[in-house]
Amino acid sequence: MYGLVNRAIQDMVCDRFDEATWDEIKQKAQVLDEQFLILEAYPDDLTHRLVKSASEVLGLSSAEIMQAFGEYWVKFTATAGYQEILDMAGDTLPEFLENLDDLHIRIGVQFPKLRPPSFECTEVAPDAIELHYRSTREGFAPMVVGLVKGLGDRFETAVEIAHTQSREAGFEHDIFRIEYRSEKIVNDS
């Protein structure tokens, strides 16, 4: 996992709580780094330890932490210098989701050790899609829920998401059903 992810976890905790809470989480996770280097690859175990420690310190489940992180990630990456790449991925929620794999290819230029998940969209109704999520990593499906909610905010789109198939339940990959409708006010004058 790249330092960008760990830095975003740190920023989320500091933004929503404070530095002392972050220090407690870091100590509990046995993390010695003062600052995560954004372009440095870190062991996945370090990120899992941070999430587990945040769960214990904050009294939230790991899934709740990951979902909150997914929502935060959308805003964090936009302000961390990736706004232009995000803008190229699409102008609507379904378009953006359809282009997630291409987005990861572009980002991979900067992060050569990137092992991104794969996403595939299937339209199931005029305002509903199934998002197929495949990853070599365990425990990140709740982050997808948060990402979709965060993207809903980004595109001013109301989103309802249901996790309809889970690897944790023995399936080959995760599937999410996403229903959406734009909240943008259209001026007909």
* Same domain, yes or no: 116 and 166: yes
- What residue numbers bound the domain in which 18 lies? 3-60
* Same domain, yes or no: 105 and 37: no
Phi, psi of 75 (to 5 degrees): -75, -40
* Same domain, yes or no: 108 and 47: no
Residues comprising the chain, all counted: 189
* Same domain, yes or no: 170 and 121: yes
How is residue 140 written in tokens?
Answer: 């990140």
CATH of the domain at 121: 3.90.1520.10
Residue 35: predicted pLDDT: 85
- Please state, in angstroms and as integers, the Cα–Cα distance from residue 170 to each residue in 100, 116, 122, following that order: 25, 21, 21
Concatenated DSSP letters of 101-164:
HHHHHHHHTT-TT----EEEEEEEETTEEEEEEE-SSSS-HHHHHHHHHHHHHHTTEEEEEEEE
* Same domain, yes or no: 106 and 168: yes
Distance separating alpha carbons of residues 63 and 11, to the nearest angstrom: 18
CB 150 within 8 A of CB 70: yes
* Same domain, yes or no: 40 and 99: no
The verdict on residue 78 lying in a domain is no
Residue 134: predicted pLDDT: 97
The verdict on residue 160 lying in a domain is yes
How is residue 99 written in tokens?
Answer: 């282009």
The verdict on residue 164 lying in a domain is yes
Nearest to 89 by CA among 131, 174, 151: 151
The tally of domains found in the chain comes to 2
Residue recorded with tokens 């339209």: 123
**In tens digits, what is the pLDDT along the chain, a chain of 189 residues?**
899 999 999 999 999 999 999 999 999 999 987 789 989 999 999 999 999 999 999 999 999 999 999 999 999 999 998 999 999 999 999 999 999 999 999 998 889 889 999 999 999 999 999 999 999 998 999 999 999 999 999 999 999 999 999 999 999 999 999 999 987 644 444
* Axis-axis angle for helices 19-28, 44-58 (nearest 10): 120
* Same domain, yes or no: 96 and 160: yes
CB 174 within 8 A of CB 167: yes
* Same domain, yes or no: 138 and 176: yes
* Same domain, yes or no: 177 and 103: yes
* Same domain, yes or no: 53 and 126: no
* Same domain, yes or no: 54 and 97: no
* Same domain, yes or no: 47 and 117: no
The verdict on residue 65 lying in a domain is no
The verdict on residue 151 lying in a domain is yes
Choose one of 60, 77, 105: the last residue of a domain. 60
- What's 82's DSSP letter? I
Residue 187: predicted pLDDT: 47
Stated pTM of the model? 0.90
For 6-62, list the strands marked E by DSSP. none
CB 76 within 8 A of CB 37: no
